[in-house]
Amino acid sequence: MKKKVLITRKLLRSNEDRANELWDAKLNLNDEVYSQQKLIELSQGCDGILSSLTEKIDEKVIKSLPSTIKVISNFAVGFGNIDIEAAKKKNIVVTNTPDVLTDATAEIAMLLILGACRRAAEGISYVKKENWKWSADFLIGKQLNGSRLGILGMGRIGQALAKLAKVFGMEIHYRNRSKLSKEKEMGAKYHENLQSLFSVSDVLAICCPATNETKNIINKETLEYFPTGAIITNVARGDMIDDDALVQALVNRKIYAIGLDVYKGEPKIHNGYLNQPNAFILPHLGSATKKTRTDMADLAINNLNEVLNTGKCTNRVN
């Protein structure tokens, strides 16, 4: 008899076909965002859950899941939507999908840097209004070549971004939990603390994991570390930024521009950003390529299948 698996969001057709071959899969064909109660109800009789970041699987939900659930395979590299400790106490394995979205996310990080530096949002607005007129000082932005890029979190995505940024002639600086080997640094300069990194960052790229330590790491105090006219971008998680403080820094022109692919309360966003012409914002497109989304779902399926068959998984996070 096939195992039963709940898949909480709609996947690409090829991935859903594979899931149906492996299991008796409960698919979400309408791509409904399930409430916590509905997720609990649909999980009855299932052996595993293939979840996404849109589900908040907290301690209350995990305690209410049926005892048959052995694994929650998260369709994401992050897993902040799942209470890892609560799952561990209930002997539920939690897995994620690292590596496969590295290049796609680094590309979006580079796009944010370009868009914020070269005032892309303002330019698009002028085109739509059909009221622009060329002049020598029209929409002058900041050039990447020769500028300093600070990377907060020099993991897989940070390192991939550094490679791209070097092609544009940027000087790379970084802050990480530990100093990288010379081979992985590729000439980048390590900084031992935030103030040191931020003070030399003409552009900052946030690429670090979401933790209690990194929550609101961009705040009223740390914004003062940046050189006036710096640019801040984020492809990690919205929790990294104190929105009120960053909006005020944009208004005061302490910060020249921002590029965000993630933000608190997605899809809702702090209204202050919407009133700033120097805010270049995307709707969480980091992994949004067909190849990457296919590979992510395949890995999530592999993770779930591995746990159901062996009880173990290389990509286990708890």
CA-CA distance, 95 to 159, in Å (whole number)?
A: 23
284 is catalytic: yes
Closest CA to 38 of 48, 28, 25, 53: 28
Which residues face 49 on adjacent strands?
A: 6, 72
Q: For residue 172, which amino acid is it? A: I
Rg (CA), the chain: 21
What number of CA atoms fall less than 13 Å from residue 314's CA on the CB side? 7
- Closest to 216 measured CA to CA, from 264, 178, 249: 264
Whether residue 279 contacts residue 258, with contact meaning beta carbons closer than 8 Å, is answered with yes
Find out whether 153 and 206 touch, Cβ atoms under 8 Å. yes
The encoded tokens of residue 70 equal: 């052995």
Active-site annotation holder among 237, 270, 293, 306: 237
CB atoms within 10 A of CB 271: 9
**Which two three-digit tokens encode residue 51?**
């979840």
The catalytic residue among 122, 171, 185, 266 is: 266
Indicate if 9 belongs to the active site: no
Between CA 141 and CA 139 the distance in angstroms is 6
148, 156, 284, 316: which is the annotated catalytic residue?
284
Catalytic site residue 266? Answer: yes
**Interatomic CA distance for residues 240 and 213, integer angstroms:** 9
> 255 pairs with which residues across the strands?
230
- Among residues 200, 262, 201, 276, the alpha carbon closest in space to that of 232 is found at 201
Enumerate the active-site residues. Answer: 237, 266, 284
